């Protein structure tokens, strides 16, 4: 069982894969909320250059520093290569947003030592488990 409260209280840097530059999108709203609550947000979107004042990276593996949580806003079918990249870069955790799951890829992440949260909203959980 994942200790979500501990994960959210110790994480500092969150890469958001699939972060949209459109304020009406859930990914933007969640990332904006997290940024407002002290997390460093790293956008991963190959079609944008800057989102929420942070430079975008085309791929997760282009990020040259440690990521505490890889927050995934992509369709379930797109999850396996993202998790493979999270494993390759030794991220601390992968977080699949509401309605996003991929049991085989999640198991690969766990086996590699990453914390895995799936089918949950990081914003909702942050609201529930306390703010910084």
User: Which domains, from first to last, does the chain contain?
Assistant: 4-129 (3.40.50.720)
User: What band does 131 get if pLDDT is binned at 50, 70 and 90?
Assistant: low
pTM here is 0.96
Helix H segments across 1-132? 4-10, 26-36, 79-88, 103-111, 122-129
pLDDT (0 to 100) of residue 129:
86
Among residues 16, 39, 21, the alpha carbon closest in space to that of 86 is found at: 16
Contact 118, 106 (CB under 8 A): yes
User: What band does 1 get if pLDDT is binned at 50, 70 and 90?
Assistant: confident
User: What band does 125 get if pLDDT is binned at 50, 70 and 90?
Assistant: very high
């Amino acid at each position: 069982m994942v200790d979500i409260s501990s994960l959210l209280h110790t994480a500092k840097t969150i890469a958001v894969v699939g972060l949209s530059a459109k304020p009406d999108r859930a990914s933007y709203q969640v990332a904006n909320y997290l940024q407002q609550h002290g997390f460093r947000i790293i956008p991963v979107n190959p079609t944008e250059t800057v989102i929420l004042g942070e430079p975008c990276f085309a791929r997760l593996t282009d990020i040259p520093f440690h990521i505490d949580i890889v927050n995934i806003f992509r369709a379930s079918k797109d999850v396996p290569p993202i998790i493979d990249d999270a494993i390759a870069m030794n991220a601390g955790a992968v977080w699949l947003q509401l309605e996003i799951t991929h049991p085989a890829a999640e198991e690969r992440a766990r086996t590699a030592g990453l914390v895995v949260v799936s089918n949950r909203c990081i914003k909702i959980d942050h609201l529930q488990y306390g703010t910084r």
